[in-house]
Amino acid sequence: MKLLMVSKSSVVAAHHGKLEELVRMGVDLTLIVPPRWGSQPLEIRESELYRIRVLPCLLTGYTHFHFYPVRIGPIDADVVYLEEEPWSLVTHQFVRLCVKARKPVIFTTWQTISKTYPPPFSYFERYTFAHAGAAIAGNKEAVELLRTRGFTKPVSIIPYGVYPEVFFRRESSLLRSKLGLGDSFVIGYVGRVIAAKGIADLIQAFAVLPQQCRLLIVGDGDFRGEGERLAGGLGVHSRIHWVPQIPSLEVPDYLSAMDALVLPSRTTAGWKEQFGRVLIEAMACETPPVGSISGEIPNVIGDAGLVFPEGDVKGLAAQLLRLVQNPGLVTELGKRGRARVLEFFTQRRMAEQVLKLCRRVLAAEAEIEDRETAQMGRAR
């Protein structure tokens, strides 16, 4: 099977595991990817397993508006797999090409909040729904929303996955020493440093924890300045370590240096946590996650971590204190997390589900062609 994949998220090297697994299962794969997505540069430009076409992309970082301002060329693939939302301009760009070339196409959605899109994006969504052969949804809420919005074709739930061979518990004493963490109990956060991620709640909860605790925040975002001022006002600035965004393949090292990973997301009018990839990365590294109940977080964590009501600073502090005071619980949750990832969230499992859906779409296309051929024969 020849598969053309279009994916802005594949600028991150850690996202390529699914592609590698697809190739190992016999797929002839070509990836179209931009040279960067927002502030994130492309981490992998060449591969021995599959072809990578790095194309110039306009309005990178803007999910609604980005597109490739070049001639794509003939669609030399049996199926086109878009890791893009159905209402995006880039999705419309490729769906139109697929309709012209009579190639089946699959799109992806993580959307969990119903929104009314203005023209032309409402038209893009309707056009995608009419011509796509199937969809991939990142979670159950996204499936329900697709059905509500009128998409009637097959949908498979295929979330993120990790490579257990890359994300595993590593020896971290050198990194902890370099960061000045010593033997402290390290509470960590990895991701965008923005208000909606609940960074303020995390800092306030951290402020009431014992002095032997340290907070390690890895990532960039416009909330850092406000977060530092908040930490200063609470008297904990010296116990918080801020690290700028790191390459994706270094994330396991930092997760291994943490005793717990926190994802304290807060639902807003236009967004709620759609998955929380860092949760499964932490679980694979046997670092227990503590997450708010925003969106998909509790479903991802399962019994491998702790949850608290979003925005509940006291609730978050109480869950963190449980871990600080109970090393045995930290170890037990770490083991559960690793086992949960191996069962549900590996790149191999995700690739198998993608390939299964592609074959289903191809079978449906072949059935349609057979019916059309039979009808033409009767007409003669």
- The dihedrals phi and psi of 114, each to the nearest 5 degrees, come to -70, 125
pLDDT of residue 323: 98
Q: What is the pLDDT of residue 238?
A: 97
User: What is the pLDDT tens value at each position of the chain, 380 positions in all?
Assistant: 999 999 999 999 988 999 999 999 999 999 999 999 998 999 999 999 999 999 999 999 998 899 999 999 899 999 999 999 999 999 999 999 999 999 999 999 999 999 889 999 999 999 999 999 999 999 999 999 999 999 999 999 999 999 999 999 999 999 999 999 999 999 999 999 999 999 999 999 999 999 999 999 999 999 999 999 999 999 999 999 999 999 999 999 999 999 999 999 999 988 999 999 999 999 999 999 999 999 999 999 999 999 999 999 999 999 999 999 999 999 999 999 999 999 999 999 999 999 999 999 999 988 766 565 556 556 55
Q: 148 has which bridge partners? A: none
CATH class for the region spanning 2-161+347-379: alpha beta
The whole-number pLDDT of residue 166 equals 93
Question: Which secondary structure element, helix H or strand E, spans residue 229, and what is its range?
Answer: helix 224-234
In this prediction, residue 305 carries a pLDDT of 98
Whole-Å CA distances, 324 to 54, 114, 190, 318, 353: 46, 39, 19, 10, 39
What are the start and end residues of each CATH 3.40.50.2000 domain in the chain?
2-161+347-379, 173-343
State the chain's maximal CA–CA distance in angstroms: 86
> pLDDT at position 367, please?
78
Helix residue spans in 107-184 (DSSP H): 121-131, 140-148, 173-179
Phi, psi angles (nearest 5°) of residue 22: -60, -45
So what's the pLDDT on residue 345?
97
CATH of domain 173-343: 3.40.50.2000
Residue 60 corresponds to which amino acid? T
